[in-house]
Amino acid sequence: MLSYRFWWELSTTQTLDAMSRYILLAVYVSFIGRILLKDFRDYEGDKKFGKLNFLVRHGPKKTCFVAVIAWLLGDLIISWSLFKTFPILIILVQPIVIVIMFGLYLLAYEKSILKNY
């Protein structure tokens, strides 16, 4: 295992350029959308035992809406930062983003989840 001092030295001597910062921000924002969605698999148990996560508090529609916003914002940031350098990559990724949005739409209106709302 690498020591704390090694990581400290690495972090203080290396700097990130603007593109790297934007990519990290885009990944972080997209990860927020993913974290919101992880609670769907435990929804019934969380609701039964009173665990007040975002999904239980706000319901599946609002949870999926916030996840869509996070994913779109992450896509927008990464597309904006990489479009001049890798335009074909950005264009090729957009159908994947559309499929993700459609999947979130289907998840938001899933009948087995909505029967409790």
Q: pLDDT tens, 6-48?
A: 556 656 666 768 888 888 899 999 999 999 999 888 888 888 8
Q: How far apart are CA 99 and CA 116, in angstroms?
A: 27
Segment 43-82, tens digit of pLDDT: 888 888 988 899 999 989 999 999 999 999 999 999 999 9
Enumerate residues 6+ apart whose C-beta is below 8 A from 104: 37, 64, 67, 68, 71
Give the residue among 10, 29, 33 at the shortest CA–CA distance from 21. 29
Q: Residue 14, Cα to own-chain centre: how many angstroms? A: 27
In Å, how far are 19, 70, 73, 87, 112 from 22, measured between CA atoms?
5, 15, 12, 16, 38
- At residue 110, the pLDDT reads 85
Q: Which two tokens stand for residue 51?
A: 């665990």
Task: Tell the residue number behind the tokens 């665990």, with chain if given.
Answer: 51
What is the Cα–Cα distance from 15 to 53, expressed in whole angstroms? 36
Q: State the pLDDT at residue 44.
A: 83
CB neighbours of residue 81 within 10 Å: 19
